[in-house]
Every structure is written in structure tokens, then in C-alpha cells.
Amino acid sequence: MSAPALHKGMGRVTVFSMFGPVFGFASLHEDGKQLAYVGPLTPGVSWEALWVMASKCNRIGASDHVRAQWIVTQATRSFIMHADLVVQLDAAEWWMTGHRRLVESLSGWCNQDVLVTGCMRVPELTDEQIALKPTFYPHYYEGNPT
């Protein structure tokens, strides 16, 4: 499966669980901007589920910018603190698939300027690593992966 060059890379990937599903976080520097790529790895979990979680964990009516900051914060929290960390890969191939949402102007929030969300693929990961994980807060994710 191929992906557009802009939405793939080789490098560090942080794999973490959040409210059940497993997500990936990678970062690239391009055209003077730091791009954060965050997306679900669990099969059947849509990238939109990430935005629903961000809505539920923010104030009512929070803007895309505020929700994007929340998403980047969760990914960075896992990278730095190893919170809900599944695995940290130092040199892995990854790419985004399907539809995407891009939020610019994060102004260096958690050292990121742009957030790109979509479904992520990391061939190195096992089925066990990307399977739904137990959570104390299942109400933040209401999907049922197929």
C-alpha cells in the first residue's frame, strides 16, 4: 500500500492507548515547520474518533485549534512520560491512510506547528500491540471496531 510522500515517514513512532483504542504519534520537520502525525492504529477505529474524544475532554464548543492542542498534548504526554505507552519505536516506517484533518498554526504547542490526523499504519507492529486495550474510561470512545 502506498501513500503520498507528505504523509509518510521513517523514524520514531510512539504507540499509546487512549480510552481503549491504540494510536500512533510521529513527527517530521518540513518546510520550516514541525508536523505532528497522530492517528488510530487499532483496526476499525476511524480517525474521526480521535476528534470525538477531544470534544468530550474539552469544554462545549471548543474550537478545532483547542481540540488539536489536546490531541498533541496526549501524544506528547505518552512520548515524554510513557503514559499509556504500548511501545516506542526508534526507526519505523509509518504512513497515514484515508481521509485526513489538518490543523495549522499550533504556534509551537508541544513543539509542534501543524497537526495531521488520519488512520496510521506501522507495519512493524503486531496485532496484539494494536488491539483495543482495557480502560477505566470507556465512555470516551463509543466505537466498535470491525
Q: For Cα atoms 87, 93, 98, give the angle at the middle one, nearest 5 degrees.
A: 100
Q: Which structural domain range is residue 25 located in?
A: 10-129
In a domain, 18, yes or no: yes
In a domain, 141, yes or no: no
Q: Looking at the 3D structure of the chain, how many domains does it have?
A: 1
In a domain, 1, yes or no: no
In a domain, 123, yes or no: yes
The confidence score (pLDDT) of residue 111 equals 72
CA-based torsion, 41, 68, 7, 90: positive or negative? negative
Mean pLDDT, residues 49-55: 92
In a domain, 90, yes or no: yes
pLDDT at 17 over 80: yes
Q: How far apart are CA 56 and CA 29, in angstroms?
A: 30
The answer to whether the CB of 104 falls within 8 A of the CB of 20 is no
pTM above 0.75, yes or no: yes
The confidence score (pLDDT) of residue 138 equals 82
In a domain, 136, yes or no: no
Mean pLDDT, residues 114-131: 95
pLDDT at 38 over 70: yes
In a domain, 77, yes or no: yes
In a domain, 146, yes or no: no
pLDDT at 92 over 70: yes
Within 8 A by CB and 6+ apart from 111, the residues are 34, 76
The confidence score (pLDDT) of residue 6 equals 57
Confidence band, pLDDT 50/70/90 cuts, at residue 4:
very low
The confidence score (pLDDT) of residue 3 equals 42
